[in-house]
Amino acid sequence: MTATVTKQVPPEADRRARGVALARSALRGDTLAMNDLLDHLIPYVTSICGPIALTSRQDAVQETLVAVFRGLRRLHEPEALYGWVRSVAVREAIRVAKQDARSNPAELTEVPAVGDPQLAADIGDVLARLSPEHRAVLVLRDIEGLDEKEAAAMLGVPEGTVKSRLSRARAGFRRMWTS
């Protein structure tokens, strides 16, 4: 009797393979595959847009999906889908967060006072006080796991800018978190 060894594929790899397969079909003009691809990408896009756009998360996700729909035909390598979608999501989340900040400036009375127990309990409040650029760097480095060079390329800024933004973002987050 011969034992059969089956190779276990991690769920993340299955998910990514499904996304790439859907992208290939959509690129061939399959409209149902395009719809399935957009549905498939929602959790991934939300995980990127959420920490950057905060209360405008849904708007950023929607704008990202629209940009993916419009720009997919320019994706020549379906295997690069997730990297491309990540860069679109970061760009749209920053844009939406900046728009939201301009239309809804924070009132100083809304900022929790030092020592307020709500400040330490609510990460969202702390993140909201960082700029969208600082939130984007934190997401790319600490959540997505990109290095400074990759984050710089994605954000279209020099590597040194990413390093300084990351340092300022972490210091600001730490300072606000422990206040």
Tell me the pTM: 0.64
First to last CA, the chain: 66
- 174: tokens are 């730490």
Q: Are residues 174 and 149 in the same domain?
A: yes
Tell me the average pLDDT across 52-81.
94
Q: Report the CATH number that the domain containing residue 52 is assigned in CATH.
A: 1.10.1740.10
CATH number, domain with residue 161: 1.10.10.10
Residue-wise pLDDT for 132-155, tens only, equals: 898 889 888 887 888 989 989 888
CA angle at 176 for the pair 101 and 50, rounded to the nearest 5° = 45
Domain boundary at 59, 78, 105, which?
A: 105
pLDDT value of position 110: 47
Domain co-membership, 87 together with 117: no
Structure tokens at 113: 């006072």
- What Cα–Cα distance (Å) separates residue 32 from each residue in 38, 81, 125? 10, 18, 39
Tens digit of each residue's pLDDT (9 = 90 or more) over 116-136 = 555 434 667 777 788 889 888
